[in-house]
Amino acid sequence: MRIFRLTILLIVLLAVDVISQTTRVAFDDGTEDWQRKVERLAVRPGITVDSLTVYLTDNGFLDNHVRFSKSDSAGIMQVSFGPRYNLGCIIIEGEQSDSLMVNNVFSAENVNGTIDSIIAQFRNDGHYFTSAVPLGFEKNKNDIELTLQLAKGPVVRISQVELTGLEKTDVGFMRRYIPIRTGDTLKEIAVGGSAEMLEGLDFVTLTGSPEIIPDAGYETARVRYEFIEMKQFYFEGAGGYIPDDDGYYIWYIDLRGRNLFGQGEKAGILADSREKYKSIFRVYYGQPLFLFGPGDFLATVRTRDYRDQFYEFGVSAGYELSLRGGYSLGADLGWKNVEPSSGLLRAFRVYEVGVGVKAGTLREYRGAPLTLVLDWNIKYSGRRYKQAEDTTALQRAVYNDTRTKFRAQAAGTIYGPLAGYLAAKASDIESGEKPLPVSELFLFGGTGTLRGYRNDQFSAFRLILMTAEMRLFFSRNDYLYPFADGAYFENYISDVKGEYKRDDDFRRGYGFGVKLSSGARQLRVEFSWGDDSKFSEPRLGVSLTGQF
């Protein structure tokens, strides 16, 4: 027991000694901004005189001098920055002589970036194995003149395009996504563009950048793409509890199959019971379609049974063309028949045609850079009413609508494991009919729109939705998050005289959740409250996703 106490005492004394041995930084020169940067860096564990010297050199302070001395209570790091040099000119020697004026800070990042940009020019001309080696530099006051030895090498042609890791997927089909062929000149822009296109596929994953394998003599090379096939079947299910006086559960399940026959085909069935006496059933089929380039065709059959309001049956077909740079263009056609529940209202049919454009790809993992996605579409529709059976009076039968939607999403790392997510969506309907039938309005509320409320609790002809989440990651894809949702909306309401007037409102929702994943499974749990919710009665939402 005595040995144990002495051991504990020794540990405490060592800890006190380590804590007391703090490091102070003193400066001979330098701006306040750089002094603050060095102070923050110097107190980090593992920072030495050599590592701090390298840091300053890499940031353009070539004449820096760092000294360390130790007193009884602290270590003192004395820093002299010296002048900060600029990269004024690059002289290129070798197979092609040239000079390049740069006029930028002489830092490791800027030097490497400039050299890479020089090499990229030759790689895009077919000299894929171009190299540029620094020979030395000269100082001219505060400017640096850097000399590079350039070796272009021969123009490289592709000897073979290899696709590995494909078992269920047809290799010949996958080659249609790759715009390079045997005998083509090997260019960096073509290889990079093909990888970008492949990253958008939902049935295979590219494990990394395409591998360039030179053949003997470096005049030809193989390009190798390595894939991992996604699980063929996928399901998503969710449930929730509504704590009303007669509390009840809501649920939905979405079963999907992808790459069904080895050429990217997909099909799915969705059954959704979002609210009492409200249900949605949808069946869809899609497949890649190369009309003007890589694209996707999707056909859908859907019913909506909102028992106290309407029953809807509809079909639609759409085509989305994928472009480089994360862009895509879309077009769709649709038809539906709506039967109101009330005998006082007329049934109608709707014919629709729409176009849209999307830009960007959202990345939502730990440490992901800031990414932005913009999505815009416009849809024109004609609504044709049936003549009421109990009247012979002439009734207007046709109304034309224009629906516009715009959505912006952004996600990115704030600091360390902390990340943020923001989204905004604006929707608007221009129509000659006021008010519109309920089935033609934007229905919102619940998961995906305005958490803290019942699903499809509100309706509007003009709507702005906003979402903010603060995500604290504890693994690459798992995180805790508080969230806040908001909705501004406009609709027409009837006054005491039976006349319809425009009315607007704003609703808020907030809560917190957790997202967990393990292999091919994912679980999301959310607790949410609305403006009028009791804190003791949150709305619970549970979503489970799996692949097999």
pLDDT digits (tens, 9 = 90+) for 429-446: 999 888 899 999 999 998
- Please state, rounded to an integer, the average pLDDT across all residues of the chain: 87
The dihedral through the CA atoms of 488, 494, 496, 497 has a sign that is: positive
- pLDDT at position 138: 86
| 445 phi, psi to nearest 5 deg | 125, 140
pLDDT of residue 358: 95
Q: What is the rounded distance in angstroms from the CA atom of residue 101 to the CA atom of residue 79?
A: 32
CATH no. for 157-229: 3.10.20.310
Is the CB of residue 158 less than 8 Å from the CB of residue 180?
A: yes
Query: Residue 425 to residues 318, 377, 378, 449: CA-CA distances in angstroms?
Result: 22, 12, 14, 9
Q: Enumerate the β-bridge partners of residue 34.
A: none
Query: What's the pLDDT at 1?
Result: 46
Q: What is the DSSP string of 75-125?
A: EEEEEE--PPPEEEEEEEEESS-EEEEEEEE--HHHHHHHHHHHHHHHHTT
What is residue 72's predicted lDDT score, i.e. its pLDDT? 58
User: Peptide bond before 45: cis, by omega within 30 degrees of 0?
Assistant: no
Q: Rounded CA gap, 341 and 344, in Å? A: 9
105: its two tokens? 């800070």
Torsion of CA 183, 184, 186, 187, to 10 degrees: 180
Band (545; pLDDT cuts 50, 70, 90): confident
203 pLDDT higher than 60? yes
Name the percent of the chain lying above pLDDT 70.
Answer: 92
Q: How far apart are CA 130 and CA 94, in angstroms?
A: 11
Higher confidence at residue 265 or residue 100? Answer: 265
The proportion of the chain whose per-residue pLDDT surpasses 90, expressed as a percent, equals 45
CA 189 to chain CA centroid, nearest Å: 23
Residue spans of alpha helices (H) in 339-489? none
pLDDT in tens, 213-235: 999 988 999 999 999 998 889 88
Concatenate the DSSP letters of all residues of 308-355 into one string.
Answer: TTEEEEEEEEEEEEE-GGGEEEEEEEEEEEEEESSTTS--EEEEEEEE
Same fold, 19-80 and 157-229: yes
Q: Name the β-bridge partners of 281.
A: 271, 303
Residues with Cβ within 8 Å of 492's Cβ and at least 6 positions away in sequence, in order, are 434, 435, 436, 461, 500, 501, 502, 503
Q: What would be the CATH architecture of the domain defined by 19-80?
A: Roll (3.10)
H or E stretch at 477 = none
pLDDT of residue 14: 40
In the chain, DSSP finds a helix count (H) and a strand count (E) of: 6, 29
Name the CATH code of domain 233-547 (choices 3.30.200.20, 3.30.460.20, 2.40.160.50, 2.40.160.20): 2.40.160.50
Task: Name the residue with higher pLDDT: 316 or 146.
Answer: 316
All structural domains of the chain with their residue ranges = 19-80, 86-151, 157-229, 233-547
- With a CB cutoff of 8 Å and minimum separation 6, the contacts of 387 are 346, 395, 397
Indicate the length of the chain as a whole number. 548
Determine the average pLDDT of the residues in 465-492. 95
Indicate the pLDDT class of residue 164, thresholds 50, 70 and 90.
Answer: very high
CA distance 218 to 155: 9
More confident residue, 365 or 547: 365
Residue 504 neighbours by CB under 8 Å, 6+ apart: 488, 489, 490, 491
Residue 393: predicted pLDDT:
57
Longest dimension (CA), the chain: 106
| Average pLDDT rounded to a whole number, residues 29-53 | 84
Q: What pLDDT shows up at residue 368? A: 92
3-state secondary structure (DSSP) of residue 158:
strand
Residue 119 identity (one-letter amino acid): I
9 band by pLDDT with thresholds 50, 70 and 90: very low
Q: Say yes or no to pLDDT of 10 above 50.
A: no
pLDDT tens, 495-541?
A: 777 778 889 999 999 999 999 998 778 899 999 999 988 888 898 88
